[in-house]
């Protein structure tokens, strides 16, 4: 797992924002204290096969190390409280939280993890208080702020400010992204807008 975290740190260093460098510093401190990181074994093999199949088609720097880490990554439904998101929407994607509240790397300032959105699905326009960045690792999606739509593929990155409405629509492959939140990282102000 350390090799995965080191690759994530390299991406965060390249992003070179206050948030990304803060997250990088917290990960590096955690690695120094923990030495090795053991994630729980995750049993959802069908989901992992779908994710690995998507990653194998990617030439992103993180792809190879992410495939090797899959047996240890714990994927689950959203971290957004069920009172704020319907089952219909939460069934469209899975997350693998790495940093934040109640995660492997505890943080009150940042959230970081992976998101896999199923093929041919639409995650409707939504907003939250946290500023957010996505690195597209595999697959493709149409990202929209409700006015403009932008096609994103592996290697692309998108930042959105606090409370900016945004949506994701996937194609036949779905998409896998590394995301991070900074600022107000609570999910209390998360809203589906359509």
Q: Which domains occur in the chain, in start order?
A: 2-192 (2.60.120.10)
> Coil, strand or helix: which one is 29?
helix
Q: Please give the chain's pLDDT, 194 residues, in tens.
A: 889 999 999 999 999 999 999 999 999 999 888 755 555 555 567 888 999 999 999 999 999 999 998 878 888 888 788 888 999 999 999 999 999 988 889 999 999 999 999 999 999 999 999 999 999 999 999 999 999 999 999 999 999 999 999 999 999 999 999 999 999 999 888 999 98
Distance, CA of 46 to CA of 51 (rounded, Å) = 9
Q: What is the DSSP string of 90-139?
A: HTTEEEEEEEETTSSEE-SSEEEEEEEE-TT-EEEEEE-SSEEEEEEEEE
Q: What is the pLDDT of residue 45?
A: 77
Q: What is the pLDDT of residue 135?
A: 98
């Amino acid at each position: 797992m350390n090799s995965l975290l080191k690759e994530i740190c390299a991406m965060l260093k390249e992003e070179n924002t206050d948030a990304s460098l803060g997250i990088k510093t917290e990960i590096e401190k955690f690695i120094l204290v923990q030495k090795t990181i053991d994630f729980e074994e995750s049993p959802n093999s069908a989901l992992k096969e779908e994710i690995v199949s998507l990653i194998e088609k990617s030439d992103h720097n993180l792809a190879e190390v992410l495939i090797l880490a899959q047996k240890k990554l714990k994927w689950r439904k959203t971290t957004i409280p069920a009172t704020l998101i319907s089952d219909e929407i939460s069934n469209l994607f899975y997350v693998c939280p790495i940093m934040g509240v109640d995660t492997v790397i505890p943080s009150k300032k940042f959230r970081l993890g992976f998101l896999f959105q199923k093929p041919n699905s639409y995650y409707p326009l939504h907003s939250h208080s946290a500023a957010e960045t996505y690195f597209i690792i595999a697959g493709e999606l149409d990202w929209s702020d409700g006015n403009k739509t932008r096609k994103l593929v592996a290697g692309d990155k998108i930042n959105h400010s606090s409370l900016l409405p945004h949506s994701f629509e996937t194609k036949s492959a779905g998409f896998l992204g590394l995301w991070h939140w900074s600022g107000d990282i609570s999910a209390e102000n998360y809203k589906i807008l359509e």
